[in-house]
Structure 1
Amino acid sequence: MKIAYILPSLVNTGPIVVVNNVVKHLKNKVELIDVYYFNESHSTLHFDCNVFHISKSDTIDFDKYDIIHSHTLWSDVYVYKNRKNIKKAKTVSTIHQDTFTSFTIQFNRFASFFLGHYWCYIQRNFDGVVAISDQLKNRYGKLFSNIKTIYNGCNITDNENIQEDIEKLILSYKEKGYRILGSYAYISKRKGLSQIIDVLSYLPDYVYVIFGEGPYLENLKKKVAKYNLQDRVLFLPYVKAPYSYLKFMDIYMMPSYSEGFGLAMVEAALAKKSIVCSNLPSFHEIFTEKEVSFFEVDNAESLIQAINTAYLEAEKKGELAYIKASSSFTSEIMANNHLLYYQEMVADKHKDI
């Protein structure tokens, strides 16, 4: 089997990490994997396969492949625009988030309606669509007859380099007796990180460490200044393997307003961390209340209670979350499920011949 992945960039964000993990585990199980991407960036992941930088006007040899799997809107648009050049290969798209909800948070309802329907129209022209949760499959199943749930998965290692200056900064808070709340993300409004800053004044024993970059970062910094919390919120830049710093955190925070899955939360579970997350259906699909601490979004009292519970029950919840993640949400399981799906599609193609 020959597979091509079409990506917007090689930046360390959720969809790119997913493909990177799939490649790692499929490269020795298939004949060929090539990755194509559009946007250059200094913050990139290394892929264990052929990687090609292309422009959106370039045309690749599509029928060199059995499967062409694109990720995110503009990659899907690229495949759609070249559909007349694809005679043999099967095309696949992935729904990584609740499209309409995410666009509403990012833009507005008007833009969400038109952009969301445009993307769904494009995906209906694909041979297959992957949903990363049953919640997404159930919501978008009415639009796609060819949709299948494949949960995301990940692995973490202890081999990644830790920057000594960052380690010292975080540990300096520990030495002062603080408990560490932590998050890492592409910082957008959808990630809901501002909710933690809103309640930090009521949690004098805690500091909040945030790794990442993104369009909402300056808003967070302004809010920190507004509440005079500069001494208890630590902003850190993008790092290659942010999960390496989980060992310094007491509680991992996942306060998203919308999320298709929750990959960072699974990484935290694999590190046996206690987790606080928003009360989203997609998060309930991954973990139970025994394994993580849920809170209602934009509810300060609920969030504070969840943080206190997560700290008091940290060892028990961390162990139970680890058991769930390691048995259900590893990158090997995710990659194998992708391969099975690809094989089904190729088999169906041969039936049609």
Structure 2
Amino acid sequence: MKVAHIITNLKLGGPCKVMSENILHLPHSVESQVYYCKDLEGFDNLLDARKLTVKNFSELKNYDVVHSHGLRPDGIAALSALLHRKTVHISTIHNYVYEEMHNIYGAKASKVISPLWIRAWNQLDALVVLTNDSKRYYKKWFKQESLNVIGNGMDFSLSNKPLKEEDRTRIEKLKGSYKLIGSNSHVIKRKGLDQIIRALQDMPDYALVVVGDGPYRENLEQLAKELDVADRCLFTGFRKNAVNFLPYYDVYAMASRDEGFGLALIEGLAFGVPCVCSDIPSFREILNPESGCFFELDNISSLRSAISGAFSERYELGANAKRLYREKYTGQIMADKYYTLYQTLVQQKECKEKAG
């Protein structure tokens, strides 16, 4: 079996990480080739990927499966599906489309882009969504049988690249005086990190570490100053070895206002860090009360209680979190489900071709 994987760019965000993990764990008999649409400076081509252009677009007809991730890749896959009917075309949907487009481009643009994206998806043979909640969301636009639920999975290990001396010194200084709440996150508004900063006001024995960067960082730093908790907030910026911060955390917090899945959450589970999550449907599917604590969105009192509860029960919650991860969220578990889906779709396509 030959599979072409199409990604927007080689930036190590959620879709690229999931695609890479899937390729790594597929059977050796599967030949995978990655295509990307957009060049980005500063990112290594570790996947031996090819840039997809007008000249090599026709190569897609040589694959049994074309698997796309993202707006531009899905548009290309939709065109390929119209031209290369013998090839199976599948997309993994990583978002709630109208909400995601609204957050990125605004309300007016969302009303234009979202229907076009949905139209592209309708050209494909199958769609993968990450949770049952996402399946319920999308069933108004797609047939039930075309929607397949495959949760993200990934293998995690500490990076062989140690923390920068500055990072290590700062986090160890905080660790010596406070209980640490950690969040490895893209720093955008919908991640809800402002709620954690507000919670710190009445939690003088806790500090917050945010590993990641984004357009909302300056707002959060200003909020921390206004609430007089800036000395207990550490914003490191983007770090390729963000995973190496996890052993320092006493509690891992995911305060998102909406989330397609939350790879960072299963990263916390894998390392046995007790997790605190906003009570949104996607997190409810990933986490259970035996492995973490939930809080009501924008209810800071609820968040404080969840953080305190997670710290108090951290050893039991951490052990349960590791067990949950091993049972449901490894890279191999995810890839096995994708391979089964590929096989099923290829067989169905072959049967249709034979039937005429």
Q: Is the contact between residue 56 and residue 78 of structure 1 (CA under 8 Å) also seen in structure 2?
A: no
Contact kept in structure 2, 1:277 and 1:292, CA below 8 Å: yes
Which letter maps to 2:305? Q
Partner of 1:181: 181
2:98 to 74, 97, 100: 100
Within-5 A mapping of 1:280-319: 280-319=280-319
State how far apart, in whole Å, the 2-side matches of 1:345 and 1:106 are: 33
1:36 aligns with 2:35: yes
C-alpha distance in 1 between matches for 2:97 and 2:208: 29
Structure 2 stretches lacking a partner, 5+ long: none
**Contact 2:81–2:89, Cα closer than 8 Å, also in 1:** no
In structure 1, give the amino acid aligned to 2:136: N
Residue in 2 that maps onto 1:334: 334
CA contact (8 A) 1:275 1:310 kept: yes
Structure 2 residue identity aligned to 1:238: F
Q: How does 1:23-102 map to 2 (within 5 A)?
A: 23-26=23-26, 28-30=28-30, 32-44=31-43, 47=46, 49-55=47-53, 59-102=57-100
Query: What code does the residue aligned with 2:343 have?
Result: Q
The match for 1:142 is 140
Cα-to-partner distance string for 1:248-275 (whole Å, 9 max, x where unaligned):
1111110111111121111101100010
Tell me which amino acid in the other structure corresponds to 1:143: W
The CA distance in 2 between the partners of 1:308 and 1:196, in whole Å, is 13
Q: Return closer, same or farther for 1:39/1:187 CA change in 2, 3 Å cut-off.
A: farther
User: For 1:44 and 1:251, how far apart are their aligned partners in 2?
Assistant: 31
Residue 263 of structure 1 corresponds to which residue in structure 2? 263
Compute the displacement of 1:33 (Å): 0.6
What is the distance in 1 between the residues matched to 2:43 and 2:252? 24
Within a 5 Å distance, the mapping from 1:132-281 to structure 2 comes to: 132-145=130-143, 146-165=146-165, 166-175=167-176, 177-281=177-281
Contact 1:96-1:260 at 8 Å conserved across structures: yes
- What is residue 115 of structure 2 aligned with on the other side? 117
**Distance of 1:304 and 1:159 partners within structure 2:** 31
1-structure distance, mates of 2:190, 2:43: 23
Aligned mates of 1:88, 1:68 — CA distance in 2: 11
* Unmatched tracts of structure 1, length 5 or more: none
Separation (CA, whole Å) in 2 of partners of 1:122 and 1:57: 22
Give the CA deviation at 1:107.
4.3
| CA distances 1:83-123 after superposition (whole Å, capped 9, x unpaired) | 44323211111111222233334444443333222211111
Deviation at 1:318, TM superposition (A): 1.0
Contact 1:35/1:52 (8 A) holds in 2? yes
- Deviation of the 1:172 alpha carbon: 1.2
> What secondary structure sits across from 2:49 in the alignment?
strand
Cα distance, 1:180 vs. partner? 0.8
Retained in 2: the 8 A contact 1:7–1:38?
A: yes
With the length of structure 1 as denominator, give the TM-score of the two structures. 0.93
Identity of aligned residues (%): 31
SS of alignment partner, residue 39 of structure 1 = coil
Cα offset, 1:55, TM superposition = 4.6
Task: Answer whether contact 2:275 2:293 (CA < 8 A) is retained.
Answer: yes
- Mean alpha-carbon deviation: is it higher for 121-130 or for 211-220? 211-220
Equivalence map 1:314-325=2 (5 Å): 314-325=314-325
Letter in structure 1 aligned against 2:77: V
The equivalent residue for 2:5 is: 5
Shift of 1:46: 5.8
Matched residue type, 1:345? L
Which shifted more, 250-259 or 185-194?
185-194
Q: Matched residue of 2:230: which SS? A: coil
Contact 1:193/1:256 (8 A) holds in 2: yes
- TM-aligned CA distance change 1:291 to 1:299, over 3 Å: same
Distance, in Å, in 1 between the alignment partners of 2:214 and 2:189 is: 9
Between the two proteins, the alignment pairs up a number of residues equal to: 350
- Greater shift in the superposed pair: 271-280 or 69-78: 69-78
Give CA-to-partner distance per residue, 1:175-234, whole Å, 9 cap, x none: 2x2111111122221211111112221111111111112222222222223323331111
Per the TM alignment, residue 77 of structure 1 is displaced from its structure 2 partner at its CA by 1.6
Tell me how large the CA RMSD over aligned residues is: 1.9
